[in-house]
């Protein structure tokens, strides 16, 4: 998505990203970015909370108007108060799932090889 | 019920010993290493970023909305069936379909995508248009697939999104990745 924003912007269309993966977006380097420190999946605001969703969209609009240079990030002033372990539990790797992940990887490689053989995936 | 608020949760051990926000680049690398993938993914990284100032006030602008969510399942599709390859897709904001998000890497243990406006704020944007904060919402919402290959995004998908935004007369774009 960040690459798409860069392409639009470079071709004369101003952009703003609403997102939650701060490092990924900022490493790519985008013109304007509203960061919400939430679990991935709800970067436009919490489900069933139209007031917050609206405030986050408004932050995006304000950033379109106020940014004077690229790589301008604004952090939304909201704190996730659901599962307090959400940061650690995303794609967690520990002794409880190491073997399961290893098997999952082997299965994915088999599937990928089948997809390639059937022409469903283009090589890089 | 909302799970977030403006109030900080009580923290019995204030201060930080580690970066507070999730380092997804590191986390993803470790997760795929654990699955036996030897070559780490190379995320896009640039020193410079482009910048285009607004050409007119937002109150006179057509705003395009762009998502990473995928097309709805084709008719007759059943759980367990293979899905078609991801591609750029578009739909009218006035009649959004049920988008497919299960194949994207969001935090499925702690949240959900049952409320469209939590990841694609179509109705919020429409309200802002009705109030005159923006000129209008572009007639179509566009979906851009999250691709492993930077080249496919840069050479195939991003130019197609640009073409469709221009066709819709968009002046600015709001991009919301999952």
Report pLDDT digits (tens) over B77-99: 776 776 667 899 999 988 888 88
Give the pLDDT confidence score for residue B157 in this predicted structure: 95
Q: CB B36 to CB A106 under 8 A?
A: yes
Residues of B in contact with A81 (CB under 8 A): 3-5, 7, 9
Q: Within 13 Å and on the Cβ side, how many CA atoms surround B131? A: 9
Q: For CA atoms A47, A53, A59, A61, give the dihedral sign.
A: positive
- Among residues A34, A95, A26, the alpha carbon closest in space to that of B34 is found at A95
Summarize the confidence of residues A40-62 as an average pLDDT. Answer: 97
Taking alpha carbons only, the member of B81, B96, B98, B90 closest to residue B164 is B90
Answer whether A57 sits within 8 Å of B149, measured CB to CB: no
Could you read off the pLDDT of A103-118 as tens digits, one per residue?
Answer: 999 998 998 888 888 8
Task: Answer yes or no: do B146 and A11 touch at CB < 8 A.
Answer: no
Provide the residue ranges of all domains of chain B, joining segments of one domain with +: 58-76+85-176
Region B36-62 average pLDDT: 95
Per-residue pLDDT for A33 more than 70? yes
Residues in A closer than 8 angstroms to B160, CB to CB, are: none
Looking at residue A122, its pLDDT comes to 52
How many residue pairs from chains A and B have C-beta atoms closer than 8 A? 273
Measured in angstroms, the CA of A23 and the nearest CA of chain B are apart by: 6
| Among the partner residues B31, B50, B120, nearest to A9 by beta-carbon distance | B50
Q: Pick left, alpha or beta for residue A41 (phi over 0 → left; psi -120 to 50 → alpha; otherwise beta).
A: left
The closest CB to that of B134, out of A16, A30, A61, belongs to A61
CA separation, residue B54 to residues A12, A15, B22 (Å): 9, 9, 32
Nearest-CA distance from A96 to chain B in Å? 12
Interface-testing mutation among A44, A104, A111, A118, with chain B (most B C-beta atoms within 10 A): A44
- Give the per-residue pLDDT at B25: 95
């Amino acid at each position: 998505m960040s690459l798409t924003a860069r392409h639009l912007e470079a071709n004369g269309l101003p952009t703003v990203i609403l997102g939650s993966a701060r490092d990924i977006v900022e490493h790519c380097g985008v013109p304007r970015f509203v960061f919400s420190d939430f679990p991935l999946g709800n970067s436009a605001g919490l489900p069933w909370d139209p007031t917050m969703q609206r405030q986050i969209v408004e932050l995006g609009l304000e950033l379109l108007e106020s940014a004077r240079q690229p790589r301008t990030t604004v952090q939304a002033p909201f704190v996730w108060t659901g599962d307090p372990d959400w940061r650690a539990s995303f794609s967690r790797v520990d002794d409880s799932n190491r073997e399961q992940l290893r098997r999952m990887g082997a299965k994915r490689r088999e599937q990928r090889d089948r997809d390639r053989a059937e022409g469903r995936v283009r090589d890089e | 019920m909302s799970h977030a608020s403006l109030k900080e949760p009580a923290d019995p051990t204030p201060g930080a010993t580690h970066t507070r926000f999730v380092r997804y680049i590191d986390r993803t690398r470790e997760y795929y290493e654990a699955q036996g993938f030897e070559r780490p993914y190379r995320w896009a990284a640039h020193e410079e970023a482009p910048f285009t100032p607004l050409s007119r006030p937002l109150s006179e602008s057509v705003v395009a909305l762009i998502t990473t969510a995928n097309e709805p399942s084709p008719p007759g599709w059943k759980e367990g069936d293979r899905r078609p390859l991801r591609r750029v897709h578009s739909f009218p904001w006035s009649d959004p379909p049920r988008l497919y998000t299960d194949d994207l890497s969001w935090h499925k243990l702690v949240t959900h995508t049952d409320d469209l406006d939590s990841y694609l704020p179509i109705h919020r944007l429409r309200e802002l248009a009705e109030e005159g904060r923006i000129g209008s919402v572009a007639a179509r919402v566009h979906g851009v697939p999250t691709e492993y290959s930077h080249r496919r995004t840069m050479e195939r998908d991003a130019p197609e999104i640009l073409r469709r935004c221009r066709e819709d007369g968009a002046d600015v774009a709001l991009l919301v990745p999952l």
